[in-house]
Each structure stands twice: as structure tokens, then as C-alpha cells.
Chains A and B, each alone.
Chain A
């Protein structure tokens, strides 16, 4: 029987979401010169269609779980969960990009194509079963995001953000790659299950494995903006266009956490005694640095950047607990965080105005009197970020700290929750400004949010309440998925 190099139909189905996104992204680039003038909104519509199609494809792919493409790719419920998460993040990003791009007069196919490519990279990351695949996915995602960070190329801050992100990001990826090389040298393989088997076999130098793990830890910690590798995040999130900042804080971060969990809980399970304390320290440092630095910020985007560092710290707590319920908690939290953070950024997109002139906290003054609907939505997101019950943010935190206590990390749980009380202060400040200050120039001049922006506010709010009141469905899915990855 002749050897066939064509992938089987099952493999194609497993890879369908990525295929759809690639085709759609390329199509957008081609259509750009033809329709950019006449139908500037066409690209957004097309990418939403592509993303929805990809979500269906991801669900369909989940019906044929298993490894594909010679063990390079693994479709399991863990991967599917994250695929659907990043694809949904993509939809919300596109939704609030409409009015932003319209305002900046920068509707192009290129922007949407880059978003699709970035998400495609993230989909590859979360289903990769091989360090090389992970690296490829990470690079696809990162390069697209570097460009997006500098999308408004006449804007100085955009350029600064893109350059910073690019230089530091490539540096961090270098660390990751170095770790991959050492692992390959040690075990002769880049496939995660094989690495796990090799490390579990007697006679493998765990010291060298530890060195490799620490190098990869540096690279991944940078990507999730965990301390002490968080320094880039505030500058980049502040400089990049608001929708892109929202996207960066959620999509690539969720995907990076997915591979973080997959690599460290499967391949490096054997040396967890070595890395768990390091994660412990990083988690505490991220929460503390993020929350305390956010107290002092006056710029909304910068404040949310520090808040995103703190939230990365919470997810690192889940990682430090090194257990199945920890993984499940991290998965749940990333979804809850994505919803509330995207929602909050959608409000920033709404109030910032042309050229993002209005991104100070005071610019929200009196929003509740001028635009009560938007203010109410923002309240939902802020309460969720604080972690008030009946919102997704609360349950996320609850599950994470439950996982920590389950693994006897009592101090980390206590310090983490005290941290969240500190965090309440700066989120409350926004509520104070919105509800208790008199309307200022900025809020007086606001027009009602457009239909797409409304959708970008309502959908995450519904999601936040859903995760807060009926978290059962999502949680049982994550728990099943978490037990699956080992």
C-alpha cells in the first residue's frame, strides 16, 4: 500500500478551526483593496462570521478527540475549551473594534486579518502536543499582536508600544526556545507525553530538566505578564489601541496560560517540587505588585494593565496549587477574567474619543447620569473584577483559593484574598467617579453607544452573570477537561 502524505479526514476535522481562520484571514487581505472604500464594515462582519464558524468547527473537532498529525496536535476538552474561549474573545474584540476603527478612520481588512491570525496562533498553542508546535503557535500569535499594537502607525504611543512589545517579547521567546532546545538535548524529543515519560524514567538528570523548565518559565511568565517579568505590560497596554490592549490582556494571555498549564502539569509534573515554590513566589509578587501599583494610576488603560498583572497572579495561584482542581479553577478564571476585562475595555473604547484623548479616570465623571446603561454595565464588570458574589469574578477567585487551600497553600490564599481587598479600592474609585461625581465635559459630549458597542457590553455582562449565578455547567466541563490533560 503506497504511503499517503495526505492527512486523514479526521485530522483535517481536528484542525478545522485553524484552517477556517487562515482562509478567512487571507481572504480579508485579498478583499482589502477591493472593498476598503465602499464597505468598510464588511471586514468586521466577515471576521465575526469566520470566528463563529471556527467555534462550530472547534465543537465538531471535540467529537473526535485524540492526537493528530503524528502527535503534533491533540484535541481534548482542555484544548477545545481554550479554543472556544479565544475565539469568543475574538468576537467581542471585533465587536468593539467597529466604532473604534470608524472613529479613527482606520477600517481595513488588514486589522481584522491580523486579529484572525493571532487567534489562529492561539488555537494552535492550546491544542499543541509538541514544544515546536507550541513555539510556532506562540510566534504566529505574537507577531500578529506586535503588529496590532502598532496598528495606528502615525501615533507615537502606538509605535512605542509595538517596539517595546516586540523587543521584549522576542527576547522572552528566546528564553522559551532555549528551554526547548535543552529539553530536546536531554530527552531526545519535543513531544509532551514523551518528555513526561523520559523524565519519569530513572537516570534522567532532573537538574538539567530544572534548568530547561526555568528557562521556559521565564518565557511563559513574560507572556502572561507575571511578576517579575511584568514590566512591559503597563507601557504596552497604555500605548496600544484600546481594543488591541483588551485583546492582548485576554486572548494571548489565556492561550499562554493554557500552554503554561499543559507543559508544567504534564511534561514537568515530575519536578513539580522544584517549580511549585517558584510559582508561589511569582503569584504573590504579581498580585502584590499589580494591585499596589494600580492604586496610584490615573490612566484607565494603565490601571487595567496593572490589574491584569494582579489577575495573572491569581491564575498563578491556581498553577501553584498544582492539582486538577487548580487547573479547572484557572480555566474558569481565565474565562471570567476575559469577559469582565473585555467589558471594561469596551467602556474605555466608548469614552476615549478620537485619538484616545480621554483615558483618564476623571473622564468617567458622572457617566451614570449621562449614559446610565453604559455605567450600569461598567458596574457589573467592576464588581466582577472586585470579586463580589453573583459575578463570574467572584466564583473564579473562590475556586482558585479553594484549590490553593486544598493544596495546603494557606498563606498564599490568605495573602491573595487580602490582596483582593486592596484591589477593591482602585476599582471602587471608578465607581465613585462614575456615580458620585458631577458629569464633566467628556461625559456630556458622549453620544449613545452604537449597536455593536452595546452588544460588546451586554454579551460580557450576561456572561459574567451566567458564570456568577450558574457556574455549574462551565465548571463541570473544566473539571472534566482538567483531569484529561495528564
Chain B
């Protein structure tokens, strides 16, 4: 059992133990799950320090003999930070729910641990079947988190969320089984080798259909316009911890899947279909921003801003340039931090005022200046102010997209401008202006627990904005390998005939 497997086993065991705890021991449940999640986070730091020594965390064993399904877990630069991000945010999710969750406390915290288990599993799985298993396992706790502890329209939102994801993922399952009938294995590394060595070849139609089957499953999760409609509902209705995990980590499952599976396995189809995918991404960027601008509800505003931000990520991925891909992966992490912070802060406002509507606020900065300051930092990070994290990601994406096709950058940049509009406008209406009486009496300053929740995120925003060297080299290295398997946009221009002749074997 290596560290990565321990990282999977601890939250799973924690989930089972929490479920077995007697009812009524609410404080014990909180402390226990908190301890488990902090332990997982500390262990996940071991992944970073041990990352250099390569395959130390790989474990490949047969899980089911026939059809051969492997328990194959491993990490690379792409999954490393996403795993750390999941482990980093789970304790925060537990802490922000400390007092706000009042019914069925035991189940709530147990589901958060199950969610963590599933998320780490998704990013660690190197067997297609195992990946699918974790992909679906993640659905269950989130379904309950939204459905039981959510707001008024929670049931509609959670069922919609579940069915959207399920409908997309069954197509992916067909594609996975189809690949198995061709390759005779579910092991992703082996399948890639078989593709590259030419042992299995796909016809043009096969490749396109398989690509689409994977792509739709991931695009729903991202979510890519026009498959995004579940997202605002799910976010608005979810409890704060649910919104946090959903926005910060679960959406990344989709973009992670695109980078991990869609590009290396189906390079030709990815290149061919990139034009309309990028158009959808750009529509998503602008449409998400425009819709965000007119939202009366803060949570919905942040949710639509996610649609816009994730459009950037997709654009970066399908630019097929080193910079674009680096930016996309970096932006996945950035979005996790800054949007996570925004959801937490909106949650703080909700706990005080019991409203999510912008119109119910005004002058909060007078009553709670620290809260306003922290909110401002997060807002600026989300807009992409230099020295804060989102700037780096967006810049790299736009640069990479420009290398591929300048028009994409030109249109996508509109989204950056719009994001400043909607975020600052919301900030102005909530925090400035005249202090309403209801706000005045219900707006205490941040307490210690809230400080503990939000400080790590603020630190990360600055760190990731100033010193990218901590994170980016590992990511770049893996991305270079993925682009090697996929073929870059540059090599595509010069090597069109090479592409038509078969797979790219750029080394």
C-alpha cells in the first residue's frame, strides 16, 4: 500500500466509521471528520515532496480477473495538484459547515468524506473502468448533499444534476466497453501504448464517435455551453460546502477528463472537432459573463461566472499549445481556489442575512470591513488582477490560444472585461452604498472560525499569483508529454499530411 492508496483508504475508512457512530454525538462526528480530513491533507503533502521519485505511487494489480480490470492508481503532474486541491478543500468544507448544518449531522460529514474519497479516486485512476467507477461514486454523496441540506428547490436541482451527469456518463461507459473489445484491456497506459504502437487502429468514424462519447460526458461536467443548465440550479440550491466542492473540484473532473483521455486517445478527432468546441467555449465565456451580470442572486452570479471561467479552460485545452494547456490546468486550480473562496464568502453573508439576493444588502463594508476586504481580494482574484492567481492562468490561455488562432483570443478576451463588470458591480451593490437597517443589525465581523476557513485560500491566491514556480513546472512537464501524444497546433499547420497519414508520432 503506497501513500496514494493510503490517501484513498483514509477517507473511505473515515466514512464508514462516521456512519457507524451513534446518533446524537454531533460534536464527536465533527471533530472526527475534521481530524480525518486534516490527516488526508497532511498525507497529500507527502505526494508533492515524493513526486520527484517518479513511480513510487503507482500500484497496478488485478482487481477482477475476467474481464481483466486493474486496480491501477498513479499520479502525474496533471493529477497531483488536483488531488492536493481536493484534500486541501475538504477540511475547509467541513469547517464552514460546523454550525450551519443542523439536521442529520452525522450523514452530512460522512458524505463529505465519501466525496473526498471519490474525487481523489477519479484523479488517481489509471484504469478506464476504475475511473468510471470513481466518476459515478462521486455522484452519490453530492446528490445527497444538495438534496438533503440544500435550499428550497433542492430536490429539483439535485435530480437534474444526477440525471445530466448520468446521461452523459452512460455514453462514456459504452465507449469504454467498446475500447475494451478492441484492446482487450481497460488499463489506460496499455491502451495508449497499443494506440501508439499501431496495434489497434480506429477508423475515422469510430474515432469520432468514441471521442464524442467521452467528450459529451466531460462537457456536461465542465459544463460547456449549452450543457451547463444544471450548474446554476445545483450551485444555488447546494449548501455552502456542496457549492464549494462542486465548483472547486467536481467541475475539474470534466476538464481533467478532456486532458487526460480525450486528447491522447483520440488526437485526430480532437484536432478535427476543436473548431466548434472552441466556438462553444467562447460562447460559454461571453454568455456566462452576460448572464452573470444580470443575476439578482449572488450565488447564481458566481455560478454563471464559473461557466465563463471554465470556458477559458476548455479553450486552453483545445488550443493544443503548451502555453494554452499549461494555462488550462493552472486555471483549473485557480478557479478552485478563487471561486471556492467566493462561494464561502457568499455563504458567510447568507448565514448573517439569510438572503442571497444582492438587493437585500448594501453598505456591508461599513458594518464588517474585514469581510469586505477579504471579499474584495477574492473578487479581484476572480477578475484576474495581476499578482493574483487567475491572471496567470488566463494570460497563459489567451497567449496559447493566440498561437493557435488569434481570433479566439480576441473574442475570449471580451470575457475578461465582462468579468470585471459583473464582479465589481456586484461588489459595489453589496458592500457600498447606504447601510440598510437589517444589514446593520445582522452583520457581525468575521469570527475566528471564518478566518481559519478563508485565510488559507487567500494565501494560496497570492502564492499562486506570484510564485508559479511551485506549481507550474510539474504541470508543464506532463502537459508536454500529453501534447506529444496529441500533436500541437503548430505541428498541425506544418504537418497536415502527416496527420492524414495516421497518428502523430512526434517525439
Same complex for A and B? Answer yes
Instruction: List residues of chain A with CB under 8 Å of any chain B CB.
Output: 368-369, 372, 376, 383, 386, 388-390, 394, 398-399, 401-402, 405-406, 410, 413-414, 417-418, 420-421, 424-425, 428-429, 431-432, 435-436, 470-472, 475-476, 479
> Given the complex, which residues of A lie within 8 Å of B65, measured CB to CB?
472, 476
Among A368, A388, A402, A421, which residue has its beta carbon within 8 angstroms of that of B180?
Answer: A402
Majority DSSP secondary structure for residues of A touching B: helix
> Given the complex, which residues of B lie within 8 Å of A421, measured CB to CB?
163, 166-167, 170
- Segment among B89-97, B137-145, B440-448 that sits at the interface with chain A: B137-145
Among A401, A406, A479, which residue has its beta carbon within 8 angstroms of that of B174?
Answer: A401
Among B155, B163, B177, which residue has its beta carbon within 8 angstroms of that of A436?
Answer: B155
A424-B181 CB under 8 A given contacts A390-B133, A390-B137, A475-B66: no
> Given the complex, which residues of B lie within 8 Å of A406, measured CB to CB?
181
In the complex, the answer to whether B170 meets A417 with C-beta atoms within 8 Å is yes
> Given the complex, which residues of B lie within 8 Å of A429, measured CB to CB?
159
- Quick one: which of B107, B166, B171, B180 has the most chain A CB within 10 A? B166
> Given the complex, which residues of B lie within 8 Å of A413, measured CB to CB?
174, 177
In the complex, the answer to whether A388 meets B140 with C-beta atoms within 8 Å is yes
Q: For the complex formed, measure the closest distance between the CB of B382 and the CB atoms of chain A, giving whole angstroms.
A: 32
List, sorted by A's number, 5 A–B pairs whose CB atoms are closer than 8 Å. Answer: A369-B104, A399-B67, A405-B178, A421-B166, A425-B163
Among A368, A372, A476, which residue has its beta carbon within 8 angstroms of that of B66?
Answer: A476
Closest residue on chain A to residue B168 by CB atoms:
A421
In the complex, the answer to whether A436 meets B170 with C-beta atoms within 8 Å is no
A428-B162 CB under 8 A given contacts A390-B133, A475-B64, A479-B66: yes
> Given the complex, which residues of A lie within 8 Å of B132, measured CB to CB?
389
In the complex, the answer to whether B170 meets A398 with C-beta atoms within 8 Å is no
> Given the complex, which residues of B lie within 8 Å of A472, measured CB to CB?
64-66
Instruction: List residues of chain B with CB under 8 Å of any chain A CB.
Output: 19, 23, 64-67, 104, 107, 132-134, 136-137, 139-140, 143-144, 147-148, 154-155, 158-159, 162-163, 166-167, 170-171, 173-174, 177-178, 180-181
Other contacts beyond A424-B166, A436-B158: 11, CB < 8 A:
A368-B104, A389-B132, A398-B177, A401-B174, A402-B180, A421-B167, A424-B162, A429-B159, A432-B155, A435-B148, A436-B154
Q: For the complex formed, measure the closest distance between the CB of B167 and the CB atoms of chain A, giving whole angstroms.
A: 4
Distance in angstroms between the alpha carbons of A429 and B155 in the assembled complex: 9
> Given the complex, which residues of A lie within 8 Å of B147, measured CB to CB?
431-432, 435-436
Distance in angstroms between the alpha carbons of A431 and B148 in the assembled complex: 10
Among A402, A475, A479, which residue has its beta carbon within 8 angstroms of that of B177?
Answer: A402
> Given the complex, which residues of A lie within 8 Å of B180, measured CB to CB?
402
Distance in angstroms between the alpha carbons of A394 and B173 in the assembled complex: 11
Distance in angstroms between the alpha carbons of A372 and B104 in the assembled complex: 10
Q: For the complex formed, measure the closest distance between the CB of B464 and the CB atoms of chain A, giving whole angstroms.
A: 34
In the complex, the answer to whether A410 meets B64 with C-beta atoms within 8 Å is no
Distance in angstroms between the alpha carbons of A406 and B178 in the assembled complex: 8
Distance in angstroms between the alpha carbons of A390 and B181 in the assembled complex: 22
> Given the complex, which residues of A lie within 8 Å of B177, measured CB to CB?
398, 401-402, 405, 413
In the complex, the answer to whether A401 meets B137 with C-beta atoms within 8 Å is no
Q: For the complex formed, measure the closest distance between the CB of B46 and the CB atoms of chain A, giving whole angstroms.
A: 27
A388-B139 CB under 8 A given contacts A402-B180, A421-B167, A436-B147: yes
A383-B174 CB under 8 A given contacts A432-B147, A435-B147, A435-B148: no
Q: For the complex formed, measure the closest distance between the CB of B448 and the CB atoms of chain A, giving whole angstroms.
A: 32
Q: For the complex formed, measure the closest distance between the CB of A422 and the CB atoms of chain B, giving whole angstroms.
A: 9
In the complex, the answer to whether B133 meets A389 with C-beta atoms within 8 Å is yes
In the complex, the answer to whether A388 meets B171 with C-beta atoms within 8 Å is no
A420-B144 CB under 8 A given contacts A402-B67, A472-B66, A476-B66: no
A418-B140 CB under 8 A given contacts A369-B104, A410-B178, A432-B159: no
In the complex, the answer to whether B136 meets A389 with C-beta atoms within 8 Å is yes
Q: For the complex formed, measure the closest distance between the CB of B119 and the CB atoms of chain A, giving whole angstroms.
A: 15
Closest residue on chain A to residue B139 by CB atoms:
A388
Distance in angstroms between the alpha carbons of A210 and B134 in the assembled complex: 46
Distance in angstroms between the alpha carbons of A410 and B171 in the assembled complex: 11
Q: For the complex formed, measure the closest distance between the CB of A126 and the CB atoms of chain B, giving whole angstroms.
A: 24
Distance in angstroms between the alpha carbons of A436 and B153 in the assembled complex: 11
Q: For the complex formed, measure the closest distance between the CB of A368 and the CB atoms of chain B, giving whole angstroms.
A: 7
Distance in angstroms between the alpha carbons of A376 and B18 in the assembled complex: 14
> Given the complex, which residues of A lie within 8 Å of B64, measured CB to CB?
470-472, 475
Closest residue on chain A to residue B182 by CB atoms:
A405
> Given the complex, which residues of B lie within 8 Å of A476, measured CB to CB?
65-66
Q: For the complex formed, measure the closest distance between the CB of A196 and the CB atoms of chain B, giving whole angstroms.
A: 27
Distance in angstroms between the alpha carbons of A432 and B159 in the assembled complex: 8
Closest residue on chain B to residue A414 by CB atoms:
B174
Closest residue on chain B to residue A368 by CB atoms:
B104
> Given the complex, which residues of B lie within 8 Å of A383, measured CB to CB?
140
> Given the complex, which residues of B lie within 8 Å of A368, measured CB to CB?
104, 107
Q: For the complex formed, measure the closest distance between the CB of A318 and the CB atoms of chain B, giving whole angstroms.
A: 14
Closest residue on chain B to residue A424 by CB atoms:
B166
Closest residue on chain A to residue B170 by CB atoms:
A417
| Closest A-B pairs by Cβ, 7 of them | A389-B133, A417-B170, A421-B167, A389-B136, A421-B166, A472-B64, A436-B147
Distance in angstroms between the alpha carbons of A476 and B136 in the assembled complex: 25
Among B137, B174, B181, which residue has its beta carbon within 8 angstroms of that of A389?
Answer: B137
Q: For the complex formed, measure the closest distance between the CB of A362 and the CB atoms of chain B, giving whole angstroms.
A: 13
> Given the complex, which residues of B lie within 8 Å of A475, measured CB to CB?
64, 66
> Given the complex, which residues of A lie within 8 Å of B104, measured CB to CB?
368-369
> Given the complex, which residues of A lie within 8 Å of B181, measured CB to CB?
402, 405-406
A405-B154 CB under 8 A given contacts A424-B163, A425-B159: no
> Given the complex, which residues of A lie within 8 Å of B140, measured CB to CB?
383, 388
Closest residue on chain B to residue A395 by CB atoms:
B64
In the complex, the answer to whether A420 meets B137 with C-beta atoms within 8 Å is no
> Given the complex, which residues of A lie within 8 Å of B139, measured CB to CB?
388
Q: For the complex formed, measure the closest distance between the CB of B242 and the CB atoms of chain A, giving whole angstroms.
A: 14
> Given the complex, which residues of B lie within 8 Å of A376, measured CB to CB?
19
